[in-house]
Amino acid sequence: MIKTENVSFSYSDGEQVLKNINLAIEKGSFAAIIGCNGSGKSTAAKHFNALLLPKSGAVYVKGIDTRDEKRLFEIRSAAGMVFQNPDNQMVAAIVEDEVAFAPENLGLERNEIRRRVDESLRAVGMEEYALKSSAHLSGGQKQRVAVAAALAMEPECLILDESTAMLDPRGRAELMKTIKKLNRGNNLTVILITHYMDEAAQADRVIVMDGGEIVMDGTPRAVFSDVEKIRSLGLDVPQAAEIAYELGLNGALTVDECVNAIDGLLGGARR
């Protein structure tokens, strides 16, 4: 779905933010990108739908070179993006008008716009709010509307750049449930940039960035089992993995796995 070849990028101040990034994101996969502030993860994400172009190297979306200005519409139709603050993305006062905004600008027929709006709102569980004011929604609901607006373009890939950062735990949980449902039920490729390790652990793949480079890349279990390396990069591990590590029970990633490991440890002690 997305491929980068030796991508490097510097902002106008000359600071090199990405250094020879080589990455391939498979269609239908769910990848999380993590790293400390300044690691380059958000800059990398903006290359995935041509919001930024590499200073050297190349980025391909569905095989299309993002430097091809004539195909910019195809690129951004294939790879939709949702940002951190939903209020910065809202352009309409009513929820269904927000979701219809992009399809209307494509000049689609009214019936097609109606279909896309209804299906997109249904996909994120917001169909009952179609006629509600966007201003009266919770943070989590607004972010789900932002996802619906991106889905109305019928992308094959959804890029979420810190999209849960401003949400409370309930809002984050709602959005993650929606993301996983779209990934598994609709075969939607998902790239999640996040500071929350428990969210990253729900992906199929975790990519760790540091200093503009990819320093770890693997399954959540493989990445988070190397607790010392993760910590050396200034990052945490999921809470369950942290507890298991402190108890010498490496390998547990989820709460259930941690409970089972502790139960096994206590059972062994009793015996």
Mean pLDDT of 189-195: 95
Higher pLDDT, 90 or 29: 29
How buried is 256 (Cβ within 10 angstroms: 0-12 exposed, 13-18 middle, 19+ buried)? exposed
pTM beyond 0.85, yes or no: yes
Is residue 134 within 8 Å of residue 98, measured between CB atoms? Answer: yes
Task: Please tell me the total count of domains within the chain.
Answer: 1
The boundaries of the domain holding residue 20 are 2-237
Is residue 3 within 8 Å of residue 24, measured between CB atoms? Answer: yes
Sequence-distant (6+) residues with CB within 8 A of 178 are 123, 124, 125, 144, 147
Cα-based angle 91, 92, 94 (whole degrees, multiple of 5) = 150
Per-residue confidence (pLDDT) for residue 163, from 0 to 100 = 86
pLDDT at 270 over 50: no
Residue corresponding to tokens 């400390």: 36
CATH of the domain at 180: 3.40.50.300
Query: Percent of the chain having pLDDT more than 70?
Result: 97
In a domain, 248, yes or no: no
In a domain, 100, yes or no: yes
In a domain, 159, yes or no: yes
In a domain, 256, yes or no: no
In a domain, 263, yes or no: no
Mean pLDDT of 228-250: 85
Per-residue confidence (pLDDT) for residue 237, from 0 to 100 = 87
In a domain, 153, yes or no: yes
Strands 205-210, 30-34: pairing is parallel
